[in-house]
Structure 1
Amino acid sequence: MILQQLADGLVLGSIIALGAIGLTLTYAILRFANFAHGEFVTFGAYLALLALGQFQVLSTTTFGPLSFGWPLLASLAAAILATAGLALLLDRLLFARLGRAGVAIAVVMGSFGAALALRNLLFFAFGGEPQYYSRAIQIALPLLPRSVLGGVRATPDQLAVLGVTALLVIAMHLFLSRATLGRAMRAVAHNPQLATVTGIDVAAVVRWTWIIGAGLAAVAGVFAGLTVQIRPTMGLDLLLPLFAAVILGGIGSPFGAVLGGLIVGIAESLAVPLVGAEYRAAVAFLLLILILLVRPTGLFGERG
């Protein structure tokens, strides 16, 4: 039973981790907490659902035991592009203008208002009923026998989510450590004024921060819909775990955000038998309080 809960926590944690990477990049480079980031997760999931209805006309073939095939992958790509476009549009119309006012709280409140507007737009467009990418019922595969601490079972879709998440995390690490743009993003996060003096195009870095953060949020939304379901409040439900993961890992640390996401996901999964599924969100809140009390800078945050 414990191993099964750990496995379920890893799946949830991988989804939180992908969303947390974008959130921590936004905070580090743009210097504000974006409360609309959870809605990027939701919009990505719904945009992929809309695109899937078009691509499924071309093919309904799935990849072996998985519940999806090329249509969902094409829909995921379309959702990434559309969610990135939404983030750039919000930045141009809202965040950039509020940021020029020089009042940091105005940008934060603006993101909160944008989140409310986007969430209600989804309710208006799709209603409150859960949606699914596929109605196919998957059989969980035994990964460990029941004789080993109750055994471990996972569906092929869950294994695919874990595998793709691992590849994306590795790709992000290589991008930030070796690519010219990745190093420029780290420089702007550390000292934007010095980065400007050295010739780095800060405006371009900001645009790419929105694109990468929103794109990863869209992937997280699709993965959440693939393993559970899609609903207009999924971004709101994930928002607190996302912030808890970012603070636990250390604000501005993508690797810390990944580790924090996995810890939060596992903690929530282990808490379900103790407090029930309806109260597991409180676990992220308690972790957030403990982190702030014990180590406010997080596991990989820099001490002031």
Structure 2
Amino acid sequence: MNPQALIDGLIAGSTIGLGAIGLTLAYSILRFANFTHGDFLAWGAYLTLTLFGLLGGLSAGLGAPVHPFSFGWGLPLAMLGGAALTVLLALGLDRILFGRLRARGADVIIIVMASFGASMALRSLLEFIFTAKPVYFTNALQIAQPLGLGMRATPDQLLVIGLTAVLVAGLHLLLTRSATGRAMRAVSENPDLAGVYGINVAQVIRMTWIIGAGLACVAGVMAGLLVQIRPYMGFDLLLPLFAATILGGIGSIPGAMLGGLIIGLAEAFAVQIIGAEWRAAVSFIILVLVLMLRPQGLFGQRGA
């Protein structure tokens, strides 16, 4: 078996895991499966691409060999702006749709169906504005460098893995060592009781959207940098995102990341063993097995 599948799986799993973190936070705090999360990945990628183009002169390469990446200083700056705009999109959607449904005491199934409809609208609007033609952050070609044991990776791919590790570590510290993290965990356990104890539940909900949308933008940029940007890129990742979320356990940040890595590795090895046409089925099979054998996931609690 080609060991290259290991590095390919880690790269794909980094994107899936980062996107799954926002999904698991939304599920544990907002109490519904947010189908728009995949579209936040696509919107984040396109918004970043637009800002990247506007930055013009900063789009030049960073200059190998000191900076061996395929993009210029404009991309990190554009990604910050794209993340901010994606957050505004998520907050706006919550204000005009999900927030009103929560205020009216709507059933969870109503909110889920609303998110499904909003997902279709966001995807169609994205395709209307940017067309369905794939686009790229850069046309620069990179040569994969040997890593040992028969594995190779480009600098951009290694950057994706490293950036994911930094973001996950930072988010873990935020949720475990800060007052904001403690408030989010309290609301996740019992929002009514958290409100009684003086926690601002509305602020926690806003923070959940901010973190989820911001990470979705980064995941979208990572996917677009390594592959391509398309209006349906987030939709195509939605099943792996849900599979990683449920596999890791609802509400668990390490679980979502580990679930993403497992899904990515499973897809990479499946491509080698049975062919690329079965890649999409891997997430579905894992999802079904988890729901049958351990529905609480790897890090979840039974009955949660």
Q: TM-score range by the shorter chain?
A: over 0.9
2:34 counterpart residue number: 34
**1:86 and 2:89 equivalent?**
yes
Counterpart position of 2:123:
119
What is the alpha-carbon distance in structure 2 between the residues aligned to residue 99 and residue 4 of structure 1?
Answer: 47
SS of the residue 2:34 aligns to: coil
Counterparts of 1:161 and 1:273 in 2: how far apart (Å)?
A: 22
**1:106-126 CA deviation, whole Å, 9 max, x = no partner?**
110000001100111111111
CA contact (8 A) 2:86 2:217 kept: yes
Helix, strand or coil at the partner of 1:299: coil
The two structures have a TM-score, normalised by structure 2, of 0.96
Which segment drifts farther, 243-252 or 48-57?
Answer: 48-57
Output the CA distance in 1 between the equivalents of 2:188 and 2:237. 25
Give yes or no for contact 2:61–2:69 (8 Å, CA) kept in 1: no
User: Which whole-Å CA distance do the structure 2 matches of 1:131 and 1:277 have between them?
Assistant: 22
- Structure 1 residue 100, shift from structure 2 partner: 2.6
Contact 2:52-2:59 within 8 A present in 1 as well: no
* Structure 2 match to 1:183: 182
Can you list the C-alpha shifts for 1:183-239, whole angstroms capped at 9, x where unaligned? Answer: 110111011112111111000000010010000000000000111111111101100
Cα pair 2:267 2:282 within 8 Å, conserved: yes
The answer for the alignment partner of 1:98 in structure 2 is 101
| Cα distance per residue 1:32-82 (max 9 Å; x no partner) | 000010000000000000000011334514152101131000110011100
Query: Which residue is equivalent to 1:70?
Result: 73
SS of the equivalent of 1:153 reads strand
- Which deviates further from its counterpart, 19-28 or 125-134? 125-134
The whole-number CA distance in structure 1 between the counterparts of 2:203 and 2:291 is 33
Identical aligned pairs, as a percentage? 61
Partner of 1:138: 142
Aligned length in residues: 299
Higher mean alpha-carbon deviation, 256-265 vs 63-72, is at: 63-72
Q: Distance in 2 between matches of 1:247 and 1:205?
A: 22
Distance 2:118 2:277 in 1: 27
2:152 alignment partner, SS class: strand
SS at match of 2:3: helix
- The CA deviation at 1:128 is 1.2
Is 1:163 the counterpart of 2:162? The answer is yes
Deviation of 1:181 after TM superposition, in Å, equals 0.6
Gaps of 5+ in 2: none
RMSD: 1.0
Structure 1: unaligned runs, 5 residues or longer: none
Contact 2:11 2:157 in 1 (8 A): yes
What's 2:274 paired with? 275
Match of 1:14 in 2: 14
Q: Aligned partners of 1:220 and 1:10: how far apart in 2?
A: 14
1:143-179: per-residue Cα shift (whole Å, max 9, x none)?
Answer: 11xxx4xx00000000000001000010011000001
Distance 1:115 1:276 in 2: 30
1:299 equivalent to 2:298? Answer yes
Q: Give the TM-score, by structure 1 length.
A: 0.96
* Separation (CA, whole Å) in 1 of partners of 2:58 and 2:171: 32
Deviation at 1:275, TM superposition (A): 3.1
Task: Quote the Cα distance in structure 1 between the aligned partners of 2:98 and 2:193.
Answer: 23
**C-alpha separation between the residues in 1 aligned to 2:193 and 2:129?**
45
Provide the residue aligned with 2:250 in structure 1.
251
What is the match of residue 108 of structure 1?
112
